[in-house]
Amino acid sequence: MSIDDIESTREPTADDATDPSAIPIPFPRRSGVYALELPRPTIPTARLVLEELRVDVDGMMPTMTVSGTRTQLFGGGVTWIARVAWDDVQRAYTGTIFYRDGRTSLVPHTDVLVTLSGGFPFGGQRRARVTFTGGGRPDATRTFVFRRAAFRELGIEYDCASDATAVTDYHLHAHPNRPADLPNTHLTIEGAFTRLGIAVTKTGGDDVVPVIKAGSDGLWTDIEMHDAMQVHWSKWADTPQWQVWTLFAGQHIRGSGLGGIMFDDIGTAQRQGCAVFSNSFISEPRPGDPHSDQAVQRLRFWTAVHEIGHTFNLAHSWDKDELTRWIPLADEPLALSYMNYPFRYPGGESAFFADFRYGFSENELLFLRHAPERVVKQGAAPWFEEHAFERIRQAAPNALELTVRVNRPAARFEALEPVVAEVKLKNTSFVPVVVDRNSLLGDRLTVIISADGREPRQWVPYARHCYLDDPYVLKPGESLYAPLFLSAGLNGFDLAEPGHYRIHALLKSEAGEILSAPLGIDVRPPASREEELLAPDVYTDEVGRVLAFGGSRGRTPALDHAGDILREVMERLPDSALAVHAAAALSRTATVPGRILVEDPEQPGNREFRAVVPDPERALPLIEKAYGNLGAAADTLGHIGLTQQVEQVAVALAAGGEGVTQEAVRLTTDLADTLDARDVLPAVVESVRTTAAELSG
């Protein structure tokens, strides 16, 4: 059955332009894709406009949405979306455009009125007449001709490992645990999408992939699946295309707790491959269920559709706000959707399938049918996070929790202010857990920065430290912490532009990968002309490195220039958070002894390290600027950075003699009081007080 064969069950009125939702006898659906009806070509080629309309008001699970794309040859394009409702007076669908992506001047209006006509029983070709109004522009009316009922068209191939079972269909009445009015239908994977307006067609495949392709142990890794895809998939290409490959495999190297995965995050064209693992928990018999075999078959089928959904860039129902959003979406943990985990649903798998109607949520359908092609099409917009369908075992939850946070009341940052966060690894169980004490400081930690309208990027710090594993017993409720200077790194300044960002951290541990909840931060636009003028000088590699490393002693033109920029910041933006960072970096190098590599001017090429003597007289004003208001300093430097910097500076000051020892004691005492007032761990506060006591002699 094609999507054009799907009929509603309502009856038309005498009027041709009528609301399909008010028609009680069968009639062909009017939802689908319409193309702009063009007159004979008289328009200059350079001004030629191509336009497509998507009407989504009837058929199965309509979202009451009209959208379109309008493209001008050599002039860019725009995608727009409007939610609509039937207007009895105007005999048409009306609504406001709530989303635009691209060159918005191509569709400057704010509202649409859509009149549908033609088709059985009215006769004639199906047409849509759209009037665009509002936005301070003259009204514009265009006519579109029906082209097809499917909003998207996708080709799919299935291949199966020699030790696996391919499940590509399911009879909806095979298991008695189902909605009472669920149609008695035999549903294929292709049909699961096609009946919802996404036409999926099998293009070949059915190869048997030898298990030897998975390595000597017969277990699959992501790389091995990707290699097999290139060999066995007839449509393989490292380019965006409406094609997807599904592999039915035995077991992933992670073990039986992994039921399926969208694994193709390698190369420039991602989201083209997924896999379902037969020899995993999805195939375990259901104790006490006389229809256990059908329950297994149902979950295998569900898993396949779930993973294919990920290739369309659909997120899990409960983590929509964690990923790059095309529009702001709320999490849907109660959604009866392919994208929700049945065992996460209240009441578990049984409760989920008792009400599941084999579909997607309305927001998911809105995305599939109407989102810009670049974010839906396989191989186009990348997917920063590997989506794995893993079992959540209530009996053995993950003992470790990863958190990214900032030490301030609200995660809002001034323009030019460095974004400093901290990552926390906590033992949430009731038993001790052995971890690597340095796990948050090396390559095991990955941080991803994402924002609306741009691809997610990995934060790459200027330096990576290679530590010897240091096993540490993390007690119940105990945590490890590490600072994150997120503003700058080898990618440049990922947080320079004003806007809303989301920060994720992923830690690779012995127990597996631990993903943090997203930290949302807002970067404000410049508040003054001075900030705008300083931005090009601040957002340079040299300044980024000096701020990230907490100072520099210069001796190269670039680093000397960075120091000059930071002094200029203190002068021109004295009340800014960036000025605190600048003063902290400059005070540290003026206070703490160190060494520099210099070249003998009389013997070029002859280099040596020379000690740099502290200059307390120059340092004290900088220290006052950086740490005079320790509460404000804690907000922008973070608790970890502030504590490390103040203790280092204070110890160096005290070593300079009696004249500055008193200042060192005052600084550490005030720091301890500030941290105590901010509910920092008592052990940290006590350590700072101990330092103050030792400095006082």
Neighbours of 384 (CB within 10 A): 19
Estimate the share of the chain in helix, then strand, then coil, as percent rounded to the nearest 5: 30, 30, 40
Options 3.40.390.10, 1.10.240.10, 3.40.50.2000, 1.10.150.120; CATH of 152-390: 3.40.390.10
Residue 14 has pLDDT above 60, yes or no: no
The phi-psi region of residue 341 (left if phi > 0; otherwise alpha if psi is between -120 and 50; otherwise beta) is beta
Q: For residue 135, what is the DSSP state?
A: T
Mean predicted confidence (pLDDT) in 509-531: 87
Q: Do domains 152-390 and 400-523 have the same CATH topology?
A: no
Helix (H, G, I), strand (E, B) or coil at 116: strand
Site of tokens 């097999």: 228
Site of tokens 């006519």: 143
Spatial distance between the Cα atoms of 679 and 674, rounded to a whole number of angstroms: 9
What are the sequence ranges of the domains in the chain?
3-148, 152-390, 400-523, 528-627, 628-697
Is 307 in contact with 261 (CB distance < 8 Å)? yes
Least confident of 138-147, 311-320, 404-413, 497-506: 311-320
Spatial distance between the Cα atoms of 52 and 436, rounded to a whole number of angstroms: 56
Token couple for 257 = 């707790």
Task: Give me the chain's average pLDDT, please.
Answer: 82
> Where residue 215 falls among pLDDT bands split at 50, 70, 90?
low
Spatial distance between the Cα atoms of 375 and 127, rounded to a whole number of angstroms: 28
Residue 179 has pLDDT above 60, yes or no: yes
Spatial distance between the Cα atoms of 350 and 342, rounded to a whole number of angstroms: 8
Identify the sign of the CA torsion 148, 151, 155, 156.
negative
- Superfamily of domain 400-523 in the CATH hierarchy: Immunoglobulins (2.60.40.10)
Q: For residue 449, what is the DSSP state?
A: E
Site of tokens 């005052």: 666
Is 252 in contact with 220 (CB distance < 8 Å)? yes
Mean predicted confidence (pLDDT) in 326-346: 76
Spatial distance between the Cα atoms of 20 and 638, rounded to a whole number of angstroms: 59
More confident residue, 331 or 253: 253
Is 418 in contact with 487 (CB distance < 8 Å)? yes
What backbone phi and psi angles, to 5 degrees, belong to 291?
Answer: -110, 35
> 163 vs 208, 273, 442, 481, 504, CA distance in Å?
9, 19, 38, 44, 36
> Where residue 5 falls among pLDDT bands split at 50, 70, 90?
very low
Identify the sign of the CA torsion 54, 57, 59, 63.
positive
Identify the sign of the CA torsion 671, 676, 680, 686.
positive
User: What pLDDT does 467 receive?
Assistant: 58
Residue 7 has pLDDT above 90, yes or no: no
Residue 623 has pLDDT above 60, yes or no: yes
More confident residue, 92 or 330: 92
Spatial distance between the Cα atoms of 74 and 260, rounded to a whole number of angstroms: 42
Is 114 in contact with 130 (CB distance < 8 Å)? yes
**Each residue's pLDDT tens digit, 534-577:** 999 999 988 998 898 888 877 667 778 889 999 999 999 999 99
Mean predicted confidence (pLDDT) in 195-210: 84
Residue 424 has pLDDT above 80, yes or no: yes
Q: For residue 267, what is the DSSP state?
A: S
